[in-house]
Structure 1
Amino acid sequence: MRGLLVREIEGFLHRYPGMRCFLLFLTFCCTSIAARPNVIFIISDDQGYPDLGCIGTKPVLTPNLDKLAAEGVRGASFYVTWPACTPSRGSVLTGRYPQRNGLYDMVRNDLVNYGYVYNAEEYATSPEMTLGLDPKEVTLGDMLKKAGYATGCVGKWDMGQAKRYLPLQRGFDFFYGHGNNGIDYYTHERYGVPSLFRGNVRTEEDKGSYVTDIFRREALYFVNENLGQKPFFLYLAFNAPHAASSFSEGTVAGKKRSGGPGVQVPEKYAALYQDKVKDEKLARYYGGVTCMDEAIGALMDTVEKAGQKDNTIFIFMSDNGGSGNGGNAPLNGSKSTMWEGGLRVPFIARWPGKLPAGKVTDEFITALELVPTLLAATETPAPEGVTLDGFNMLPILRGEASSPRKDMFWQRRSDKAARVGNWKWLESAKGKGLYDLSTDIGEKTDLSKEKPEVLKMMQDQFAAWRKTMDETEPRGPFRDY
């Protein structure tokens, strides 16, 4: 039968010789598409710089992330663009500073801090529903979808909940997750408001189920639907190990709320740490990380069993520094601060055969590099007319080149910071100073008085960066134009 089919095809090509070139071209295209790598990009929420088992300074159990690091590259000097959720995640998907893409502050309802529960009409016109990433911005989902990738977003979106802001309108084919901040892990509400979406529609179909398990299920569904069919890009954004945005039992309407449930986790995960740490909240924080790690391991196993391990890029990072995690030593500070503990985060990249295994790099790299790097890895052209603030860091991760990044700048309202070379300067409500990170990663010795010329240089560089940001094409939601 096979011989007959071959003779039939040969006879067809003999009668229509022009088709031979077309079929060769079609074969080339199919081969090229099949060879393009899958991308699984995982981002955790409020996971601190030292909070990986492979670092060895804490009792946290992360065997699957440790395996990713052992089979890939771990960055020890990797920075985000903002010390809290929304602007950091906006930069991850646009490759642009928050001050350039317009999402340079949080999208939040402040009255919940005083125990206020919004009714449906109030919520519809509140900041959480009306603000988001400017629709003019091009996301990594847009870029890879245009290049022929299946694109999926699972988990925390945090860049707007109105329809125009949601993932299906921002380059993603598939979305199951929440548009706002750290929801309750079981009710899936943020301060009383149901927050999960399937596509563009709010859903309570999974109410009562632990949300990390739900995101694991949906991520596996998307991957299994596309493995071997077409290259895919999965953006898996956990809300773990962020504390739940729920009112505590003692909340009184109109009064400043205090405390809250912290990180919620099934008891079996917290039990892993109850003999290792005295603080129950810390045990639950670690348990939340371990549960997330298991979900990541399920994805790794699925890709490997499908024979796609070598053709799949795994990226892992946290969106900002740790909070409620027992500290970020040897770094100073935590989430929401301009100290290293708020800005320097864990980072892992694995691409077997394309990146070395077991390498730790101390090269200066940032979240701004992610979009250009993934465009290069997937052979996808950068969007025309869009200024990206990073570069392809594959040569740096391979150890073939030094990082071309010489500086990085941050601003959160009146809080400012800059890193130029190994110098770090910050001026904020929680502290200020000039530090030499090559000898003082913990930012303990302020050299402002000893090095006034360096201090001025840092301030001048920051002012020049700020001027550049102000001169760019304006983007909402916060900029006045």
Structure 2
Amino acid sequence: MMFRFLLCFLLGGVCFAAQPNIVLIVSDDQGYPDLGCIGSKPLVTPNLDRLAAEGVRGTSFYVTWPACTPSRGSILTGRYPQRNGLYDMVRNDLVNYGHRYDAEEYAVSPEMTLGLDVREVTVGEMLRKAGYATGCVGKWDMGQARRFLPLQRGFDFFYGHGNNGIDYYTHERYGVASLFRGNVRTEEDRGTYVTEVFRREALYFLNEHAGRKPFFLYLAFNAPHGASSFGEGTKEGEKKLSEGVQAPEKYVAMYRGKVKSEKLARYCGAVTCMDEAIGAVMEAVEKAGQRENTLFVFLSDNGGSGNGGNEPLRGHKSTMWEGGLRVPFIVRWPGGKVPAGKVTDEFMTSLELVPTLLAAAGAQGPEGVKLDGFNLLPVLRGEVKSPRREMFWQRRGDKAARVENWKWVASENGGGLYDLSTDSGEKKDLSGEKPEVVKMVRERFAAWRAEMEASEARGPFRDY
């Protein structure tokens, strides 16, 4: 035990005296430009802005899928969705047509029977093995059957929901109660805005462990995702009417007259409410005397949707354009471990998160498991350029790749070849002018697909 607290390990020339606490925060459908410090929208996010001012903000950071389930699976495993097996959504599609599930029907539906393959190892398991107290608060989205829930996947503590989304107040998903405390469904907080619930539970976990044992908190908000409830007038068998994002009135009122619609005001209000919850977590860490020894990481799980646009990027959630895949990213680790006030355009992805957290903790990855990323800390400190040269995406028939600064898209929403060094908005298709580049990128994509197919098979979707 003493070794863990007196541990001194070398990372890129910097020596640390103890395992740091780690707070990994993931927002839901928060678009690339949706931070106050960026300045392109009237968003109020003083706490995220402070994290950015006291750390490093990335402007070319990508997730592995343009929607939540596969993206979050990669965040926690460090593996491409096509390698860890969770490469599509775990959700009940009939809700798109106003269908309400009864308990028996829901129990055998995809949302209850599918999840992250139990052979996959999460970063919670890796860090718990290294001596960390591990907590998961918020949106899990990797299966609700007991074998898939966080307490069986490396976490000591869990309060949240296992599916894609919920109503912010009833905590139901289209009529089904969805919050869990540990392994048991609960309705104890029905009626309370769920961001406030997640704030409370995160603070409880921190206060139990801060200063006593290194802790890892995975704080995964459902904000500012649209509410998983039927809009007024939705009829069974017809396309559902969207409820949109829900937010307390005091936050929505801040944006009326500043944005073009009530729905957009609710989106912005949900972001600001989430920002206040993040600020409360930051304050709790500081009150516990753990500021210098706590690594904060923040990102969104995919691009924005219903957020008024992701300009200067093209596209939105569910698309292979930059607006669906490139997300806000912040890292703060005081005391010189990560510089303050730095903005970097280095090519980075969520596949780097697990190797980075393991390096910070002086922990080892699981033996025999292929991780698809690398330790970001030397890159964030400006000591080296990012070693990432390529990244690949596939969502059913939609495909995309980035090789160096070339971005190739082939999807039902259009496609082409784009030079991101001069055209981050993907406005000028160069495929006609650069057929040799298209050929090269397509060959790299095919090689990646072959590697994914050759890896050990994982469910729930792969045929094996």
Both proteins in one fold, TM over 0.5: yes
The residue number in structure 1 matching 2:6 is 31
The residue number in structure 2 matching 1:351 is 333
Confirm or deny that 1:340 pairs with 2:319. no
User: Which amino acid is 2:127 matched to?
Assistant: L
Q: In 2, Cα distance between the equivalents of 1:408 and 1:242?
A: 26
Alignment of 1:411-430 (within 5 A): 411-430=394-413
Pick aligned residue for 1:209 from 192, 208, 227: 192
Q: In 1, Cα distance between the equivalents of 2:349 and 2:260?
A: 35
C-alpha deviation, 1:27, in angstroms: 4.9
CA shift digits 1:424-465 (9 cap, x unpaired) = 000000110000000000000000000000001111110010
User: Which amino acid is 1:31 matched to?
Assistant: L
Pick aligned residue for 1:373 from 356, 363, 386: 356
SS in 2 for 1:276: coil
The residue number in structure 1 matching 2:101 is 118
Confirm or deny that 1:194 pairs with 2:169. no
Q: In 2, Cα distance between the equivalents of 1:90 and 1:469?
A: 16
SS in 1 for 2:257: coil
SS in 2 for 1:272: coil
User: Which amino acid is 2:27 matched to?
Assistant: S
Q: In 2, Cα distance between the equivalents of 1:28 and 1:246?
A: 50
Pick aligned residue for 1:104 from 87, 91, 104: 87
Larger Rg: 1
Pick aligned residue for 1:390 from 352, 369, 373: 373
The residue number in structure 2 matching 1:4 is none
Q: In 2, Cα distance between the equivalents of 1:196 and 1:32?
A: 38
Q: In 2, Cα distance between the equivalents of 1:119 and 1:272?
A: 39
Confirm or deny that 1:323 pairs with 2:305. yes
CA shift digits 1:326-354 (9 cap, x unpaired) = 00000000000000000000000000020
Q: In 2, Cα distance between the equivalents of 1:414 and 1:31?
A: 51
C-alpha deviation, 1:305, in angstroms: 1.5
CA shift digits 1:233-278 (9 cap, x unpaired) = 00000000000010112111111223x2211011000000112113
The residue number in structure 2 matching 1:441 is 424
By percentage of residues, which structure has more helix? 1
Change (3 A) 1:345 1:30: closer
Q: In 2, Cα distance between the equivalents of 1:370 and 1:307?
A: 25
**Equivalent pairs, count:** 455
The residue number in structure 1 matching 2:112 is 129
Q: In 1, Cα distance between the equivalents of 2:36 and 2:121?
A: 36
CA shift digits 1:359-381 (9 cap, x unpaired) = 00000000000000000000001
RMSD after superposition: 1.0
TM-score of the superposition, structure 1-length normalised? 0.94
User: Which amino acid is 1:301 matched to?
Assistant: E
Larger mean CA deviation between 33-42 and 47-56 belongs to 33-42
The residue number in structure 2 matching 1:63 is 46
User: Which amino acid is 2:285 matched to?
Assistant: V
User: Which amino acid is 1:435 matched to?
Assistant: Y
Identity of aligned residues (%): 77
TM-score of the superposition, structure 2-length normalised? 0.97
C-alpha deviation, 1:290, in angstroms: 0.2
SS in 1 for 2:232: coil
CA shift digits 1:361-419 (9 cap, x unpaired) = 00000000000000000000111000000000100000010000000000000000000
Q: In 2, Cα distance between the equivalents of 1:214 and 1:54?
A: 26
Q: In 2, Cα distance between the equivalents of 1:469 and 1:32?
A: 37
Q: In 2, Cα distance between the equivalents of 1:38 and 1:187?
A: 33
Confirm or deny that 1:361 pairs with 2:336. no
- Contact 2:4/2:18 (<8 A) preserved: no
The residue number in structure 2 matching 1:291 is 273
Confirm or deny that 1:477 pairs with 2:460. yes
Q: In 2, Cα distance between the equivalents of 1:316 and 1:29?
A: 26
SS in 1 for 2:296: strand
The residue number in structure 2 matching 1:235 is 218
SS in 1 for 2:138: strand
Q: In 2, Cα distance between the equivalents of 1:164 and 1:447?
A: 48
The residue number in structure 2 matching 1:3 is none
Confirm or deny that 1:266 pairs with 2:248. yes
SS in 1 for 2:137: strand
C-alpha deviation, 1:209, in angstroms: 0.4
C-alpha deviation, 1:35, in angstroms: 1.7
SS in 1 for 2:253: helix
- 5+ residue gaps in structure 2? 9-16
SS in 2 for 1:409: strand
Q: In 2, Cα distance between the equivalents of 1:27 and 1:208?
A: 45
SS in 1 for 2:429: coil
C-alpha deviation, 1:296, in angstroms: 0.3
Q: In 1, Cα distance between the equivalents of 2:141 and 2:368?
A: 26
Q: In 1, Cα distance between the equivalents of 2:95 and 2:417?
A: 37
